Structure 1
C-alpha cells in the first residue's frame, strides 16, 4: 500500500511541475524497481523522494519518475560478504607503479600462474571445480571467540594471500583455507560420466604475518584497501585445486585499457535471495569508464574524488555481491609468454548497498599497487 502511495505522490509531483533539478546517478530507476523505497518513514517520504529524483520516463504507457535507488539503502545493514558503505575518498601520494620492471622481488612470484583447469560450461553461475584454484577463504575471530568466514582472497605465491585491508585491519585472523569449492561438503562432484569430477581436499593454513597497507585507515578506508597475508608454510601447488593467480607484473599488462573489458568475479557471496552460497559462484561483469565511476561516487559537486587507484565494474543484476570482500576481479588475457591466463586486476572493496541495481561495485586497482606488493613480499 505504501508503494502505491509513493508512486501516486511522484506522479502528482510530475503533473504539477513541482520537481526540483534532477540528480545525476548511475542507479537511476523506477520506484517499483527499488525495493528499499518501502523502508521510508511516511513522514519523510515526500522530502526523500524530492531529493532523489533523477529522471522522467514512461512505464507501461504511463508517465513515471525515476529515483536514485541507493539513496534509500538502509543504513547499518551489514551482511556476510557484503562490501563496505560509501565514504569520501581521501587522496594520498601514489606509488610509482610503473617503476617495477626490474624489481628484484618479481622472482618471488611464480612463473606458472593463472591456469584454468576446468573449461566445461556449468549451468547458471556455478563455477567449475578447478576453474579458480587460487580462491582463498579467510576466517577471523568474532566477539564470541567463534571463527567467522567473512572475506575472500587470492593465492599469489606459495606464501602470500592477497586481500582487502578492511578484511584484516583490527581483526584476529584465525586461519586461511585454499582449494575449497563447496564449503559445507567435504566431497562435491560435478558433471556426468566420463567427465565426472570431484573436488579435492582443501589446505588449511595459519597466518604468520598480516600486512595491511601502511596508509590504510579505517576512517578513510576507500583508498589503500589492500593487504597481504603471509601464511606459516608453503602452499602445495601439486594439486589441481590449488594454484596461484597471475598478477599484472609487466608494464604492457599494467597499461591495458580496462574500459568496457569483461571481467570475472568469483566467490561464495550473496545470491539473488540474499543468502550466501555454499558453492563457489562466478559472474562476468563489465569494467566501467572512469567518468561513469566518478559520476556515481561524486554526486556532490563539492566533493571531488580521486579514482586513479580504484575502478568500478558491474551492471544491473550483476555485481560483486556475488563475490567476496577481498576476493579477486580477474581478466582472461594474453600474458608475457603469449598464452592466455587469468590475471588479477582488482580486489573487491566496497560500493552501494543496493547490490545489482546498476550502482557499480568498486575495486582496488592491483596494477597501481604492484610496487607495494613487490616491496612487501619476502622469501
Structure 2
C-alpha cells in the first residue's frame, strides 16, 4: 500500500483533502501544459480539467523538498526501489498515471509520494525507469517514451511518414506464417508453433524478473498487448523487456527430437528491452467495471531478427481477408499462451494452444452486466473444457484467413471471470477497431 511522504500534511477535513488532492494534480497538469506540444483535442481536455482543479484548489501551492536533478532517490512503497529524480515528462509511468481520465485516492497519494523536488519551476518525481535523452534538461525539451494518442507531451516525433498509407509500410509484407504444419487443437504447443507469441517481463521491487502478461509481435520493432499489462501492474513493478522465441520456460534452446530421431532446435530466446510505450489516452483503467481501450503498443529498443521461432502476425487491415467472417457467434478462433495474468502471474512453463468459439455480445453482456460490452470488444470461450488456464492477458486471439492462409490478430486478451471453462466467455479488445490507432503510432 502506498503511503504519503511525511513532508506533506494532508488536511483531515474532507474539503481540505479535496483541495490537497486537486493541487497535486493541478501542479502536474500545469507542468505538462507549459512544456507541451499538444493536439487541439488533448489541449482542450487538459485546459478544462485544469480550470476545474483551479476552482477546487484556488490555485494554491504545496511545499516540496528541493532535490538535485538526476540525483538518487527511493520510490515509495515497501522498502522502495532505487530511482532517479527526473522531470515528469521523463517518467513514463508517472505520465501515464497522470493522463488517466479518473484518478483514485491511491493515484493521488502515489503522485504526491513520488515528488522529490523542483527544477526551477518544474516538479521532479522519483522514477525507477526514467526515459532520459541527452538534452532532456534543455529548454527545448525532449522526446518522451510514453505517447498519448500518437502525440508526445513535449513534442512531436519527427517522422518521415506523413500519411497512414505510408506508415503501413512499416508493417511487414510477409506476416502470419506459421511453419508448424501439425493439427491445432487444445494441446501442448510444438516447436515453431505461432512464432509471434511473446512474454512481457516485469521487474519486481525485489529485483526479480517475472512474466505476468503475453503479447503479439506485429513487426520487427513492435509488440501489441493489453493496456492493463502496463497500467494495471503493481506500482512497485517495472516493465522491462519482451521475450521472443519462447516455448518452454525451463529450457533454452527449445528442441524437438520426435522426427525420425533427428533433434531440431530453435534459436535461443531473446529478452529485448522496451523503448517506448503507447497507451490510448482514454483507456478507462483496470479499476473500472467497464474497461475500454485495453490495448498497448510496445516499441522495442532494437529490431528483431525473424526466424522459424520468431515471426510477426498480421493485423486485420484489409477486411477482404476475412469478409463474411463472424467475430461473434460460431466464429472459430485460436489462442496460444502460458496462462499469464498481470495480477497473479499464474500459468505454467509450457506454451499451449486451444480452439475458441465466438460468443454473441448479448450473451457476453449477460455474463458481464457492468462491462458495457460493445463493438470494440470480442467475446469468445473455449471450444472444449481445458484443465488449465492457457491464454495470456494481452495475448492473441487469432484467425486463419481462408483467402490467403495467413494468421490474423483479431483480439488482445483483456479480462475474464474464469479461464478454460466452457460457457464462460473471455473478453478481448477487437484489434480491427484499433488498426488506425496502431498505424498512426508506428515510427521508423
TM-score range, shorter chain: 0.5 to 0.7
Q: For 1:1-379, list aligned pairs within 5 A.
A: 103-121=165-183, 125-169=187-231, 172-190=238-256, 191-193=258-260, 196-218=263-285, 219-220=287-288, 222-237=291-306, 239-253=307-321, 256-259=325-328, 260-269=330-339, 276-298=347-369, 305-315=372-382, 317-318=385-386, 321-334=389-402, 338-353=403-418, 355-379=420-444
Q: Which runs of 4+ in 1 moved over 6 A?
A: none
Take 1:292 and 1:192, find their aligned partners in 2: how far apart are those partners? 44
Take 1:351 and 1:216, find their aligned partners in 2: how far apart are those partners? 18
Take 2:416 and 2:439, find their aligned partners in 1: how far apart are those partners? 27
Give the TM-score normalised by the residue count of structure 2: 0.56
Pairwise CA distance, 1:295: 2.3
Q: 1:225 to 1:149 in 2, by over 3 A?
A: same
Pairwise CA distance, 1:349: 0.6
The answer to whether the 8 A contact 1:165-1:226 is kept is yes
Q: Which residue of 1 aligns with 2:52?
A: none
CA RMSD of aligned residues (A): 2.7
The answer to whether the 8 A contact 1:246-1:341 is kept is yes
Take 1:306 and 1:289, find their aligned partners in 2: how far apart are those partners? 10
Pairwise CA distance, 1:290: 1.9
Take 1:246 and 1:346, find their aligned partners in 2: how far apart are those partners? 12
Take 1:304 and 1:126, find their aligned partners in 2: how far apart are those partners? 32
Pairwise CA distance, 1:193: 1.4
The answer to whether the 8 A contact 1:159-1:231 is kept is yes
Q: Which residue of 1 aligns with 2:21?
A: none
Take 1:368 and 1:375, find their aligned partners in 2: how far apart are those partners? 13
Residue deviations 1:79-126 (CA, integer Å, cap 9, x gap): xxxxxxxxxxx9xxxx9xxxxx96331111101000011112489611
Take 1:351 and 1:177, find their aligned partners in 2: how far apart are those partners? 24
Structure 2's unaligned 5+ residue stretches are 1-101, 103-148, 150-162
Q: Which residue of 2 aligns with 1:48?
A: none
The answer to whether the 8 A contact 2:184-2:354 is kept is no
Take 1:198 and 1:280, find their aligned partners in 2: how far apart are those partners? 16
Bigger shift: residues 354-363 or 155-164: 354-363
Structure with the bigger RCO (C-alpha within 8 Å, sep 6+) is 1
Pairwise CA distance, 1:189: 2.5
Structure 1's unaligned 5+ residue stretches are 1-89, 96-100
Q: Classify the secondary structure of the residue corresponding to 2:389.
A: helix
Take 1:264 and 1:217, find their aligned partners in 2: how far apart are those partners? 27
